[in-house]
Amino acid sequence: MDVSQRVVSRNCPHCNASAQASDVLPYGNEEWPMVQCSSCKFVYLKRAPVYERLSEEFAWEKTSTQEREAREQREPVKQGLSRAFKHFRQKVLKRNKLPELIAKYIPGGHVLDIGCAGGGLLAALPAQYTPHGIEVSKALAEQANAVVAPRGGSIMHDNALNGIARLPADHYAGVLMSAFLEHEVEPLGLLQGVCRVLKPGGVVIIKVPNYGSWNRKIRQEKWCGFRLPDHVNYFTPGDLEDMVTRAGLKVVQFGLADRQPTSDNMWIVAAR
């Protein structure tokens, strides 16, 4: 198939200004140009793979392995250290932020994981939660379904935007988007969908790479947050807060500790 039929051209996903007026950044390439909106300064891929292509060719379970192998070949010592440090933080210091935030803000009930992969996170949710998910990869959606079905949950095999439109309004106590929003071609539309399906007072917990991090500024194109073409949005803390608010949500936690410039990622909790 002609490549031009398998990509979508995007305007700024943050303010909808034309991509024609944007500035090209040195982090993309000819096939996947990365630009900065001249109006609102949001950074994004000007073209993105169509959903059907993501479902197969760029499915997460394939690209994440390929990406890790490629990085290890380029920088074996750095990658080894980085993995050891992550392991140290998670296992030794037992600092795993997502379970802490879930326990703090979602007392129980229906929880939706957008981009739930094989259901690993949903499987780890304590018994007071009924786990649900949306997953674009067919193989992973089937795997996740086997995990959640015995607990009364369900998985929708669809892309996030279509999937959330098919879910009931005012239904979920919590929505999780861990390392997802950077992949979404229409992130504002997805956040509006999240706002619709949350119960009043329900919260969404979002983790995305922090384009404003010091590591991105120091490592430039070698920054681990750059992944072409599957990361199509690059948020600074200000962008993330603005977009969440524009979608109709209220920020309930986004302190300095959630968006440290020394971390490659940031976290925001917002309520309907």
* Touching Zn ion, residues 13-32 (CB under 5 A): 14-15, 17
| Nearer of residues 14 and 207 to Zn ion, judged by Cβ | 14
Classify residue 166 as exposed, middle or buried by CB count within 10 Å of its CB (0-12, 13-18, 19+).
Answer: exposed
The angle that helices 76-87 and 60-74 make with each other, rounded to 10 degrees, is 120
| Nearer of residues 16 and 162 to Zn ion, judged by Cβ | 16
Would you call the peptide bond into 26 cis, given omega within 30 degrees of 0 as the criterion? no
| Nearer of residues 10 and 14 to Zn ion, judged by Cβ | 14
| Nearer of residues 42 and 235 to Zn ion, judged by Cβ | 42
Strand 172-178 relative to strand 198-209: parallel, antiparallel, unpaired?
Answer: parallel
From 19, 34, 35, 37, residue interacting with Zn ion (rule: CB under 5 A): 37
From 7, 10, 12, 129, residue interacting with Zn ion (rule: CB under 5 A): 12
Q: What is the H or E stretch that residue 174 is in?
A: strand 172-178
Q: Tell me the closest approach of the beta carbon of residue 224 to Zn ion, in angstroms.
A: 25
Task: With contacts defined by CB under 5 A, name the span among 11-19, 130-138, 189-197, 200-208 that binds Zn ion.
Answer: 11-19
| Nearer of residues 11 and 260 to Zn ion, judged by Cβ | 11
Q: Rule CB under 5 A: is residue 271 a binding residue for Zn ion?
A: no
Q: Is residue 208 a contact partner of residue 179, using CB atoms and an 8 Å limit?
A: yes
State the CB neighbour count (10 A cutoff) for residue 264.
17
Positions touching Zn ion (CB under 5 A) are 12, 14-15, 17, 37, 39-40, 42
